[in-house]
A and B are shown apart, each in its own frame.
Chain A
Amino acid sequence: MEQLLTANVATNLYWLGRYIERTEATLNQIVIAYDKIIDVDKDAGITLYSNFSTELEYTNAQDFLEKAIFGEHAANLETLTGYARENAIISRNHLNTQAFGEIIALHALFQRSSNSIIEIDYKLIDEAHSLISEMWGEISKASYKKISDYFLRLGQLVEKADFTFRFDDDKTRGLTIVEDIHNLLHSLEGTEEISVSQKQTQSIDYEAIINEIHNKIQSLIIQ
Chain B
Amino acid sequence: MLETESELHKKFWEIFSKQDRQKIDEFKYHMDKFAINFNLYKDGNFIERSLPFDVIPRIISKEEFTKIEKGLQQRIQALNLFLEDLYTDAKIVKEGIVPQEFVEQASGYLKEFKGFSPSKKIRTHINGIDLVKDTVNDAWVILEDNLRVPSGSSYPLSIRDTYRKIYPDFFEQLKIEPIKQYPSYIKSAMNHVSCGGINVVLTPGRFNSAYYEHSYLAQEMDAQLVRAHELEVIDKKVYFKNYNGKRIRVGSIYRRLDDDFIDPTFFNPESLIGVPGLVEAYLAGNVALMNAIGNGVADDKGIYYFVPKMIKYYLGEDPILHNAPTYLPYFKEDMEYVFKNIEKLVIKDVAEAGGYGVLFGHEMSALQLEDLKTAIKANPRRFIAQELIEFYDEKCYLDKELKDRKADFRAYVVMGEDIKVWQCGLTRYALEAGNYLVNSSQGGGFKDTWVMEL
Residues of A within 8 A of B33 (CB): 101, 104-105, 108
Q: Are A7 and B241 in contact (CB under 8 A)?
A: yes
* Shortest beta-carbon distance from B253 to chain A in Å: 14
In the complex, whether B49 has a CB less than 8 A from a CB of chain A is: no
In the complex, whether B323 has a CB less than 8 A from a CB of chain A is: no
Contact with B along A66-82 (1 / 0, CB 8 A): 00000000000000000
**Segment with Cβ contacts to A, from B218-226, B407-415, B429-437:** B218-226
In the complex, whether A194 has a CB less than 8 A from a CB of chain B is: no
* Shortest beta-carbon distance from A153 to chain B in Å: 15
How far is it, in angstroms, between the C-alpha of A90 and the C-alpha of B245 when the chains are bound? 20
Residues of B within 8 A of A189 (CB): 244
Residues of A within 8 A of B216 (CB): 93
Q: Are A101 and B227 in contact (CB under 8 A)?
A: no
Contact with B along A92-111 (1 / 0, CB 8 A): 11100100110011001000
In the complex, whether A8 has a CB less than 8 A from a CB of chain B is: yes
Q: Are A6 and B206 in contact (CB under 8 A)?
A: no
Q: Are A104 and B35 in contact (CB under 8 A)?
A: yes
In the complex, whether B331 has a CB less than 8 A from a CB of chain A is: no
In the complex, whether A117 has a CB less than 8 A from a CB of chain B is: no
Residues of B within 8 A of A9 (CB): 225, 243
How far is it, in angstroms, between the C-alpha of A189 and the C-alpha of B242 when the chains are bound? 13
Q: Are A10 and B243 in contact (CB under 8 A)?
A: yes
How far is it, in angstroms, between the C-alpha of A105 and the C-alpha of B211 when the chains are bound? 19
Given known A-B contacts A6-B230, A101-B34, A222 and B244 have beta carbons under 8 A apart? yes
* Complex: chain B residue closest to A94, CB-CB: B219
Residues of A within 8 A of B244 (CB): 189, 220-222
Given known A-B contacts A6-B230, A6-B243, A7-B230, A93 and B219 have beta carbons under 8 A apart? yes
Residues of B within 8 A of A32 (CB): none
How far is it, in angstroms, between the C-alpha of A100 and the C-alpha of B215 when the chains are bound? 13
Q: How large is the interface on B (under 10, 10 to 19, 20 to 34, 35 or more residues)?
A: 20 to 34
How far is it, in angstroms, between the C-alpha of A92 and the C-alpha of B32 when the chains are bound? 14
Given known A-B contacts A6-B224, A8-B230, A90-B206, A100 and B34 have beta carbons under 8 A apart? yes
In the complex, whether B198 has a CB less than 8 A from a CB of chain A is: yes
* Complex: chain B residue closest to A222, CB-CB: B245
B32 touches which of A8, A94, A108, A221 (Cβ 8 Å): A108
Q: Are B34 and A5 in contact (CB under 8 A)?
A: no
Q: How large is the interface on A (under 10, 10 to 19, 20 to 34, 35 or more residues)?
A: 20 to 34
* Complex: chain B residue closest to A107, CB-CB: B35
* Shortest beta-carbon distance from B238 to chain A in Å: 14
Q: Are B32 and A104 in contact (CB under 8 A)?
A: yes
Q: Are B35 and A222 in contact (CB under 8 A)?
A: no
How far is it, in angstroms, between the C-alpha of A9 and the C-alpha of B218 when the chains are bound? 13
Which A147-204 residues sit within 8 Å CB-CB of chain B?
Answer: 147, 189
Q: Are A5 and B215 in contact (CB under 8 A)?
A: no
In the complex, whether B240 has a CB less than 8 A from a CB of chain A is: yes
Q: Are A4 and B224 in contact (CB under 8 A)?
A: yes
In the complex, whether A89 has a CB less than 8 A from a CB of chain B is: yes
Residues of B within 8 A of A97 (CB): 34
Q: Are B241 and A6 in contact (CB under 8 A)?
A: yes
How far is it, in angstroms, between the C-alpha of A7 and the C-alpha of B216 when the chains are bound? 19
* Shortest beta-carbon distance from A110 to chain B in Å: 14
* Shortest beta-carbon distance from B276 to chain A in Å: 17
Q: Are B34 and A93 in contact (CB under 8 A)?
A: no
Q: Are B245 and A93 in contact (CB under 8 A)?
A: no
* Complex: chain B residue closest to A148, CB-CB: B243
Given known A-B contacts A92-B215, A93-B218, A93-B219, A7 and B34 have beta carbons under 8 A apart? no
How far is it, in angstroms, between the C-alpha of A6 and the C-alpha of B241 when the chains are bound? 6
Q: Are B243 and A222 in contact (CB under 8 A)?
A: yes
Which B176-227 residues sit within 8 Å CB-CB of chain A?
Answer: 198, 206, 211, 215-216, 218-219, 224-227
* Complex: chain B residue closest to A9, CB-CB: B243
Residues of B within 8 A of A86 (CB): 206
Residues of B within 8 A of A92 (CB): 35, 215, 219
How far is it, in angstroms, between the C-alpha of A36 and the C-alpha of B33 when the chains are bound? 35
In the complex, whether B248 has a CB less than 8 A from a CB of chain A is: yes
Contact with B along A206-223 (1 / 0, CB 8 A): 000000000000001110
Residues of A within 8 A of B241 (CB): 6-7, 222
* Shortest beta-carbon distance from A27 to chain B in Å: 21
Q: Are B240 and A4 in contact (CB under 8 A)?
A: yes
* Complex: chain A residue closest to B33, CB-CB: A101
* Shortest beta-carbon distance from B13 to chain A in Å: 32
How far is it, in angstroms, between the C-alpha of A26 and the C-alpha of B169 when the chains are bound? 44
Q: Are A89 and B206 in contact (CB under 8 A)?
A: yes
Contact with B along A1-36 (1 / 0, CB 8 A): 000111111100000000000000000000000000
* Complex: chain B residue closest to A189, CB-CB: B244
Q: Are A6 and B226 in contact (CB under 8 A)?
A: yes
* Complex: chain A residue closest to B35, CB-CB: A104
Q: Are B215 and A8 in contact (CB under 8 A)?
A: no
Given known A-B contacts A4-B198, A8-B230, A89 and B224 have beta carbons under 8 A apart? no
* Shortest beta-carbon distance from A93 to chain B in Å: 4
How far is it, in angstroms, between the C-alpha of A130 and the C-alpha of B55 when the chains are bound? 30
Residues of A within 8 A of B243 (CB): 5-7, 9-10, 147, 220-222
* Complex: chain A residue closest to B220, CB-CB: A93
Q: Are B34 and A8 in contact (CB under 8 A)?
A: no
* Shortest beta-carbon distance from B252 to chain A in Å: 14
Contact with A along B318-340 (1 / 0, CB 8 A): 00000000000000000000000
A-B contacts, 16 of them at CB < 8 A, read: A6-B225, A6-B227, A6-B230, A6-B242, A7-B241, A8-B227, A92-B35, A93-B215, A93-B219, A93-B225, A101-B33, A101-B34, A104-B32, A147-B243, A189-B244, A220-B243
State the 3 A-B residue pairs at the shortest beta-carbon distance, nearest first: A93-B219, A222-B245, A10-B243
Residues of A within 8 A of B (CB): 4-10, 86, 89-90, 92-94, 97, 100-101, 104-105, 108, 147, 189, 220-222
Additional A-B contacts beyond A6-B230, A222-B243 (6; CB < 8 A): A6-B224, A89-B206, A89-B211, A93-B216, A94-B219, A108-B32
